[in-house]
Amino acid sequence: MFVGWGGCALGAARYGARSIGRMATDLVFPPVCLACDRELPPQTPEEGLCCECLAGFCYPRGTICPKCAACLPPNGDRRIRCAYCRERRYKFAGSFALGTYAGVLRQVVLRTKKSAHESLATAMGKYLGRRLLDVWGNRPVDAVVPVPMHWMRRLTRGVPASELIAEGVARQAGWPLFSDLVRSVRATRKQGTLMPGERFRNVAGAFQLSPRYDIAGARVVLIDDVMTTGATLDCIARILIRQGVGSVHAAVLARGVGSRS
């Protein structure tokens, strides 16, 4: 279940652990928020994001579908499947998003896709990792796995945001990272250019698992920047489950909604 924004208190407590060397550097080059470039006040969460940006990501409390992370109508009956889950029987067991793909969070996600902002993607991953620890408590996780990018697209786009986010999640939460467990074996059309129904067909057969790992019974967290229809995450979850993993959960920065999602 979603737990509301925990504020900057945790980050403020951690600030004391920063190295003397870094604090001296901060006096000369005051740190700025990786998302909005505003100067950061002294007691800021270690991810390097200002409180205003972080507060802009939040969902309202208690109105999130635990399966697909979509916003439910206010006062809706949580026992009834949300509209997205009625349409698709997702293979992942549940998912978490920092917020809706809109406003500040949308701007931040778009920025993480550019190679000049790789540190922002990792910072967002660390923040996502911190939120997952809050929300999932002591749920054991055996593998953090990013949604992969096909090598041809990687040649032009560089390291995918999903990989940097997964790195941040793994580092923050202390969970093992398996960046090469899932491979993209077929170049697909960009999901964002397709209508919802086409997106599931577009990714079918596009992924394979590396034979290097024994994943039987493993509890996997799949990481991506945005979940829209959930087609990509669902496709990979299917493959993982077919190969015998114990469970698959999805974690993303933002949940896309709307007619083209």
Q: Which residues on adjacent β-strands are paired with residue 223?
A: 146, 251
Work out whether 65 is an interface residue with Zn ion (CB under 5 A). yes
Cα–Cα distances in Å, from 154 out to 120, 124, 258?
18, 21, 28
Per DSSP, the residues of 215-255 read: -TT-EEEEEEEEESS-HHHHHHHHHHHHTT-SEEEEEEEEE
CB 205 to Zn ion: min, Å: 25
Strands annotated E in the chain: 94-100, 143-146, 182-184, 207-209, 219-227, 247-255
Which residue number, 33 or 173, has a Cβ lying nearer to Zn ion? 33
CA pair distance 202, 186, nearest whole angstrom: 10
CB 38 to Zn ion: min, Å: 5
Which range, of 14-22, 65-73, 168-176, 180-188, touches Zn ion by CB under 5 A?
65-73
Residues 73-112, one symbol each (x = binds Zn ion by CB under 5 A, - = not), give ---------x-xx---------------------------
- Burial class (CB within 10 angstroms; exposed 0-12, middle 13-18, buried 19+) of 137: exposed
CB 17 to Zn ion: min, Å: 22
Which residue number, 92 or 178, has a Cβ lying nearer to Zn ion? 92
CB 257 to Zn ion: min, Å: 11
- Which residues within the stretch 13-42 sit at the binding site for Zn ion (CB under 5 A)? 33, 35-36
Work out whether 124 is an interface residue with Zn ion (CB under 5 A). no
CB 72 to Zn ion: min, Å: 8
Q: For 105, how many CA atoms within 13 A lie in the half-sphere containing its CB?
A: 21
Interacting residue with Zn ion among 11, 45, 59, 68 (CB under 5 A): 68
Work out whether 72 is an interface residue with Zn ion (CB under 5 A). no
CA pair distance 125, 105, nearest whole angstrom: 13
Q: 82, 67 in Cβ contact below 8 A?
A: yes
CB 132 to Zn ion: min, Å: 18
* Residues near Zn ion (CB under 5 A): 33, 35-36, 50, 53, 65, 67-68, 70, 82, 84-85
